Amino acid sequence: MSEKTGDVVIGIDLGTTNSLAAIVGKDGPRILTREDGAALIPSVVSFLDDGGHLVGEEARARSVTHPRSTVHSVKRLMGQHLEEVRRREGDRLGYEVVATEDSELARVRIGDKLYTPQEISALVLREVKRVAEQALGHEVEQAVITVPAYFDDSQRQATRDAARIAGLQALRIVNEPTAAALAYGLDTSREGTVVVYDLGGGTFDVSVLKITQGVYKVAATAGDTHLGGDDFDHEIMDRILHAVRDHVSATATIPVEALQQIRLSAEGLKRQLSERQDAHLEIDLGLDEPIAFRITRQEFEAAVRPRLDETLACCRAALKDAGVTPDQVDEVVLVGGSTRIPLVRALVEEMFGRTPHTELDPDRVVALGAAIQADVLSGGNKDLLLLDVIPLSLGIETVGGAFAKLVTRNSTVPARATEMFSTSVDDQTSIEINVFQGERELVRDCRPLGAFKLRGLPGMPAGLPRVEVTFLVDADGVLTVKAREQRSELEASIDVVPSHGLTRDEVKDIIRDSIKEARSDFAARELIELRNKAHNLATGTRRVLAMPEMPFTDAQRKDIEDDLARLDTLSKGEDVAALREACDAFGDKTQALADQAIGEAIKAELNREQSRLPS
């Protein structure tokens, strides 16, 4: 691929803290840098009083002086409910996050203006686009953008929307760990398991990838959205403050500006400790003499060890989820600035029994991998194919509130599934398809994703319409649901853009609940299914009884009516076993009647056992 063409595709790492772009050129992948050589663009937007705004380094510089009008970490808000953001972030963000009357989704309020997270992300992306265009000398309109592996449909959709607002077409949304593995060119012709350990400034993620013939599959993820370099800075900061208070007074209040200075100094010391055994600092607070502070690598390591142990526990959990042991891992890749800390490298090496890949700059590997995928999409490299998995099962509501899963959790995308359904009531002229996501048996315990109606059906007896429902999940994890009634050829569909996102922890909770509640869920579902069965048996039988040609004696009719009445009573109760027995017995009896007296069409009427959709 030539870099001179107008239809280049760039790779973008849209990070919580920093963003950057890369491209595959004649000499391989490279980062696109700013005029001054800087590669990392802080993902920060600062709004000015005159209505303008700053993005990047200039914006970050204002985060101390103008915290209320400077937006950082907006990635934590993408596609999220206000409630979720409040619960997870507390008042950590510094700027105001609100919801509007017509939507529960989180927005940012600056003065009297509201911004969606997508709009703010778009401002960051526009700056990335500008840097890329200036570096390449021509316009850029297409990109591959990375997101965390645990991002759900709505968070991916929000990322896509941000790109569109910024004037970029997101050709593909790729998982960050997958991009990191790609950057290392981990041999895609082989089978293998790769662990990506990503420790940044504010978040920790670990992903287990399985590679099979060029296909990357995220087998498991784990992590902590509030664990990273900032915590390590705080450890050093606390020790500096201790030293200051020892010098001044135990209760001295330290001015905000001084605190900020101390935080920056702490980060500087931390970075030095990645190279040296000790680091020191003189703090000038305008007293007689500056205060001297010294910290050794050993002290630093002891201070951060508990948090690093937490990351190892996450690694173990992810391995367990993926069903692999540490010695089955073929490669380990380190991502994120905090993996420069020697203790991190040593602990990861110890855990997996192999030296992790650190050859590439841990701040750049995701962008480089995104560029490689961009190159694939623009036709430069035809040997790679990327696939990921969907985190939660997808399906529709059937009569009685049962959840029929069409695409199960962990299916590889793109995925497609088709199932036949029918109606539960005679003469239905419209059918509502309610789409849900989750692992439980009843839709009331799952997340609604959307609903649509198939209208204008010619009235038909219950069970007669044949409704083919198709789920299609594209390569980015976006879902399209289509329903088609085969007799009338009526068709309707929706693209599902869920109303709010899920965090990885919530996905975990959903899966855990589904295991915990499995017994009662199955019982509840069986009751619903038996009630449906009883209803279908009764409808079919009544229809047959009404047929004039049926040679039933009055005694036979009365016997059947009695059975139907009993089925009706049992259906209203909760006794699963009794209802099951009654259904089976009645099914056998009607079958015998059908065999004895009637033709195939009537048999079919009695045997119609399709899942029914709610009316």
Which residues are annotated as catalytic? 13, 75, 176, 198
Angle between helices 576-597 and 518-546 (to 10 degrees): 30
Could you identify the residue written with the tokens 């609903």?
A: 451
Which residue lies nearer to ligand AMP by CB, 295 or 473? 295
Question: DSSP letters of 197-255?
Answer: EEE-SS-EEEEEEEEETTEEEEEEEEEETT-SHHHHHHHHHHHHHHHHHHHS-TTPPPP
Structure tokens at 412: 């590889």
CA atoms within 13 A on the CB side of 187: 6
Closer residue to ligand AMP in complex, CB, 347/560: 347
How far, in Å, CA of 289 to CA of 282, rounded? 9
Minimum CB separation from ligand AMP for residue 200, in Å? 3
Closest distance of CB 272 from ligand AMP, Å:
8
Q: Which is nearer to ligand AMP, 179 or 579 (CB)?
A: 179
State in angstroms the smallest separation of the CB of 159 from ligand AMP: 17
For the chain, how are helix, strand and coil distributed in percent, rounded to 5? 40, 25, 30
Minimum CB distance to ligand AMP smaller for 363 or for 485: 363
C-beta of 337 vs 614, nearer to ligand AMP: 337
Residue carrying the six token digits 């989180």: 106
**Contact 311/227 with Cβ under 8 angstroms?**
yes
List residues near ligand AMP by CB under 6 A.
Answer: 17-18, 200-201, 228-230, 267, 270-271, 274, 336-338, 340-341, 363
Q: Which residues contact 373 (CB under 8 A, 6 or more apart)?
A: 11, 144, 172, 174, 179, 182, 384, 386
Q: Which is nearer to ligand AMP, 201 or 498 (CB)?
A: 201
Which single residue brings its beta carbon nearest to ligand AMP?
229
Which two structure tokens, joined as six digits, stand for 96?
């105001």
Distances (CA, A) of 557 to 546, 563, 567: 10, 10, 15
Q: Both tokens of residue 303?
A: 């201070």
The nearest distance, CB 278 to ligand AMP, in angstroms, is: 14
Q: Helix, strand, or coil here: 510?
A: helix
**Residue 366 Cβ vs ligand AMP, minimum distance, rounded to whole Å:** 9
Taking the complex as a whole, how short is the minimal distance between the CB of residue 491 and ligand AMP, in angstroms?
47
